[in-house]
Amino acid sequence: MSPIELSIFQSAMHSIAEEMGAALRRTSFSPNIKERRDYSCAIFDGLGQVIAMGDHMPVHLGSMPMSVRAAVDALSLECGDIGILNDPYRGGTHLPDITMVMPVFDEAATEEKVQPTFYVATRAHHADVGGQYPGSMGLCREVYQEGLRIPPVKIVRGGSIDRSVLEILLHNVRTPIEREGDLQAQIGACRVGELRLKEIIKKYRPPMIQHLAQELFDYSECLTRAELSRMPAGEFDAEDFLDDDGHGSGPLRIRVRLTIDPVAAAAKVDFSGTHSQIESSLNAVLAITYSAVFYVFRCLLPAHAPATAGLMRPITLTAPEDTIVNAQLPAPVAGGNVETSQRIVDVLLRALAAVMPCRVPAASSGTMTNLTIGGIDPHHHRPFAYYETTAGGAGARPDRDGIAGVHTNMTNSLNTPIEALEYAYPFRAVRYGYRSGSGGKGRFSGGDGLVRELELLTDAQVTLLADRQRIGPYGLHGGADGTPGRVFIRHEGEEKRIPGKCSIRAVKGDIIRVETPGGGGWGDLS
């Protein structure tokens, strides 16, 4: 196989995943998907191995293979079928992230029972999936409180939506019109992928596609092994902490031992010694930990490297069961996806900083600062559910300052534009800007976080799930830590700070101020 042919195939796969994402974004209903771009699309071979990913959300993309595998194992997906799931204990991650999986067949096949040539998958964060709190992102003690769990089931059969399945989903959420629109957008995005991949099948034919996919897997593996072979041998330990569990206990340790074997061009990532799972929503399932490790090693490769299943072949992952990096049923998991995932990245990068000190940046904000607000919209007289992750400062790099006000590591979304926010929700934006001086100082300074103030125009339930409110993002090589985040609520002129993990009842006229962490500094000022 010539490098040119392989490159053309790789680019075609990536382009299709990107086109699926564009279709999903343009046809979705919720600001969270169409404005914030909280979605991901990917393409898999007939065995469920990832071939290509769109440039979307790392926390989604690395974990989607487990969702595809769960759907393939549980469902007999035929032509025109689409499976749906969100169960964290059957291939999902947390309940708001709903995944759809669709097989793509060779239309020219003459065999009675033919296997799919490809699978396509879409994942999107839905702003409400029921549960105790509007937005489905609050502190809970078990997963049953967090919202609707969807095992792998068919939502589309032979090209037609199964209304009985759809109605069950819509009857268990606060915003059914928005949810149906977003689900329809995901279905449409799957069909865009199917259409484009059928063109690829006609051009290359299944035997050649299998060969090309295997070449991509091998190429990803080769690039990963080449990187590992240049590293020093040894064991490198690191740890970092989540502030608390939201119920008064903490900090919560995440520990990693990274073992590099440059002769075998392999690595072991072992999270033994990490805090046991908790009765709080900071637990991460194995798919999340796998996704974080995938992301970190992908960051070490050249930009042109294909992000495929082959990338993880040289990596052995150990994540003990019943810990916050491999939680078991019935542990709640809403924050594992958005907060614990960030800390897993932080601790693994900290270990790598000892391996390659001139390549690894200081810690970025390390939290998605999840804010959900729900109530009754006074204009439409129906429930609303707002969800936002607010960007923070990126960690300083070995050769330059960190970027201010940007989503980093496991998130790659945007902030909702003020105009879209005020149009869609009963809020008024009071302030939106940089949090000056919040980045850690050093030879190179961490990026500043953001300040965002929202005034409520109706009574609402305000739920916050944020970390790095006590322990700031670490600096490296003498650089200072970034400033931790803070959240305040102003009621009748009196302002008070609220915990990073809480849910409170707010009233019309209250102002919520979110201050996100700055990134850590890199290098001693002297």
* Predicted local distance difference test score (pLDDT) of residue 404: 98
Residue 114: per-residue pLDDT: 87
Which pLDDT belongs to residue 310? 98
Q: Which domain holds residue 132?
A: 3-220
Q: What is the pLDDT of residue 341?
A: 98
Reported as a single tens digit per residue, the pLDDT across 202-219 is: 999 999 999 999 999 999
Strands 315-318, 266-270: pairing is parallel
Q: What are 224-261's pLDDT values in tens digits? A: 999 999 999 999 999 999 999 999 999 999 999 999 99
Which of 220, 246, 266 terminates a domain? The answer is 220
Check pLDDT > 80 for residue 526: no
pLDDT at 429: 98
**Is 400 contained in some domain?**
yes
Q: Which DSSP category does 309 fall into? A: G
Q: How confident is the model at residue 220 (pLDDT cuts 50, 70, 90)?
A: very high
- Report if residue 83 sits inside a domain: yes
**Over 90: is that where the pLDDT of 1 sits?**
no
What is the tens place of the pLDDT at every residue in 302-324? 999 999 999 999 999 999 999 99
Judge whether 275 lies within some domain: no
Strands 252-261, 266-270: pairing is: antiparallel
Average pLDDT over residues 34-38: 97
Tell which of 169, 192, 220 closes a domain. 220
Number of domains in the chain: 2
Distance in angstroms (rounded) separating the CA atoms of residues 75 and 210: 23
Instruction: Reply yes or no on whether the pLDDT at 92 is more than 80.
Output: yes
Is residue 41 in a domain? yes
Question: In the chain, what is the straight-line distance between the N-terminal and C-terminal CA atoms, in Å?
Answer: 53
Single-letter residue type at 296 = V
Helix (H) or strand (E) holding 419: helix 418-424
User: Is pLDDT above 80 for 112?
Assistant: no
Alpha helices in 41-174 (DSSP H): 58-61, 64-74, 163-170
Q: Is residue 303 part of a domain?
A: no
The residue to which tokens 């600096």 are assigned: 475
Q: Is 249 helix (H, G, I), strand (E, B) or coil?
A: coil
DSSP string, 310-329: GGGTTEEEE--TTBTTB--T
On whether residue 476 sits in a domain, the answer given is yes
Cis peptide, bond prior to residue 357, ω within 30 of zero:
no
Residue 508 in this model has a pLDDT that exceeds 80 = yes
Give the model's pLDDT for residue 111: 74
pLDDT at 454: 98
Distances (CA, A) of 119 to 74, 463, 515: 15, 36, 41
Query: Could you tell me how many residues make up the chain?
Result: 526
3-state DSSP assignment of residue 418: helix
Higher pLDDT, 1 or 328: 328
131-162 pLDDT per residue, tens: 999 999 999 999 999 999 999 999 999 999 99
Q: Is 344 within a domain?
A: no
pLDDT digits (tens, 9 = 90+) for 175-184: 999 999 999 9
For the beta carbon of residue 357, count every other beta carbon within 10 angstroms: 12
Q: In what order do the strands lie in the sheet with 460-465?
A: 382-389, 370-377, 460-465, 501-506
Co-location of 365 and 216 in the same domain: no
Instruction: Kindly tell me the burial class for residue 428, based on how many C-beta atoms sit within 10 Å of its own C-beta (0-12, 13-18, 19 or more).
Output: middle
Contacts of residue 193, defined as CB under 8 A and 6 or more positions apart, other chains included, come to 16, 17, 19, 20, 41, 43, 102, 104, 120, 122
- Look at residue 339 and tell me if it is in a domain: no
The values of phi and psi at residue 189, to 5°, are: -65, -40
Can you tell me the distance from the alpha carbon of 288 to that of 318, in angstroms, rounded to the nearest whole number?
13
* Predicted local confidence at residue 401, as pLDDT: 98
Q: How far is CA 181 from CA 178, 191, 248, 379, in A?
A: 5, 15, 39, 20
Mean pLDDT of the chain: 97
Query: Which of the listed residues 185, 220, 255 is the one where a domain comes to its end?
Result: 220
pLDDT band of 100, cuts 50, 70, 90: very high
- Model confidence at 343: pLDDT above 90: yes
Residue 2 is predicted with a pLDDT of 87
Q: How confident is the model at residue 108 (pLDDT cuts 50, 70, 90)?
A: confident
Percent of the chain residues topping a pLDDT of 90: 97
Q: The pTM is what?
A: 0.97
* 269 three-class SS: strand
Beta 511-515 vs 449-456: how paired, if at all? antiparallel
